[in-house]
Amino acid sequence: MLNITDRRIIYCLPSIFCQETIKLGNLLIRPLSEAVKDNDNCAKLLMDFPFNRASSVIETLTFKSGDFFTQLDDLEIRDSLEILKFSYFFEFPSSLLDINGFVGNETFECYPVIELNSELTCFGVEHKMPFTNGMSNYLLSLKSYFQYRTVFLENFSLRLTQKDFSYYSVFYGLNKKIDTLDLFKMYNKCWGVYSAYDFSDKALYSKITLELLSSRHVANGNKVGKTFTLFFEKLRRIIGSIADDELFHVYKEKIDSKIDIVTKRIEDYFFSLNIERKNIAHEGKSSHQFINVAPYLVFFPVFLMVLECSDDIQRKDIYRFIFLLSLFMYEVDSWQMIDFETFPSKRTHLQSYINFSRCYHKYVKDNKESAKYMLIGFENWLKEIDG
């Protein structure tokens, strides 16, 4: 058997672009040009390089681009990348007409560019990629696969900075404490860029994550339902901890009085999701209702954070929780409807939630007058629910 550990490797992120190195605890994302500069070990790896040379590479504290392959480094990079994706999607969920473009799980795809085996190079042997059709495995040209993915991934590229990953350390620490990697992986898969004709697994993955997390808190019976009750009780206590805040007063006046409507809307959505999972698993039927699972994608990271990360929750997170409850005051089917009658067009409800969550805490922290006007905008947004 050929030994892969005596060959050098680069872990490339062809759709990720950054101008400077992003340092995230055990992980580094670096511009390819910086990583290979004055690095003789990368010379052979860059010959016939299949991806954009302005893209990025991913490294760790113990692995640098051009080092020899080890299973431990490979596992750390792949596992850490799942946490990185989860933290990004939590803080910057992609939405319709988003300024960052059409971003999904594939945006963060990692491709190992590995040194050709010196013993076989002279025979014209090329790298192969294992594929499966469900019946058997088949080896196809890795070069051809990379060329195909290069064209496909151009549609989902993303420019990143250090500021885009302020939650990485929180979720990395959580994974060390209770091993949440399976939750992260299945959640990230729900961000997968699929054909609209191939979507049924998103209902399965999303429901499984809820069940796995709920089983940590409830031993038997209706685990998810009981965990939702626990979640809402804990969430209201957390929100109550900022009773001195202006946003809390808006919450108390406009949202708390309707909290039963909000909780029912959340529970109804996930009850429907459970019905969909049962229909797929037991009857082989799926509906187009869950081609997209936007409510799950914005809710689940908050669900996880409230239940498992209470010591890490900051005021900016509580703001996000309030904005999320407000979003669920709208019917979920209306979240991404665009109002074409107004000019310039208004944000969708989902975009409004994302904008409030991204910006309000920054304005408050910097003591900007913009915070006051954004709060007024938030109140006006709430008035639209009744209007």
- Give pLDDT tens digits along the chain (387 positions): 345 667 899 999 999 999 999 999 999 999 999 988 878 888 778 877 888 889 999 999 999 999 999 999 999 999 999 999 999 999 999 887 676 777 899 999 998 888 876 655 554 455 777 778 778 887 878 778 887 777 777 778 899 999 999 999 999 999 999 999 999 999 999 998 765 566 678 888 999 999 999 999 998 878 899 999 999 999 999 999 999 999 999 999 999 999 999 999 999 999 998 888 888 877 777 777 788 899 999 999 999 999 999 999 999 999 999 999 999 999 999 998 887 776 667 889 999 999 999 999 999 999 889 999 999 999 999 998 865
The per-residue pLDDT for 184 is 97
Q: How far apart are CA 92 and CA 164, in angstroms?
A: 8
Taking the CB of residue 268, how many other CB atoms lie within 10 A of it? Answer: 11
Contact predicate 103/158, CB 8 Å: yes
- Would you give the distance in Å from CA 183 to the centre of its chain? 11
The per-residue pLDDT for 124 is 46
The per-residue pLDDT for 120 is 52
The per-residue pLDDT for 10 is 93
Q: Which two tokens stand for residue 244?
A: 């001195």
- Would you give the distance in Å from CA 40 to the centre of its chain? 35
Q: How far apart are CA 155 and CA 168, in angstroms?
A: 25
Q: Is the peptide bond before 50 cis (omega within 30 degrees of 0)?
A: no
Q: Which two tokens stand for residue 191?
A: 């961000």
Pick from 90, 87, 79, 85: nearest CA to 26: 79
Q: How far apart are CA 51 and CA 109, in angstroms?
A: 12
What pTM value is reported for the model?
Answer: 0.91
* Beta-ladder partners of 8: 68
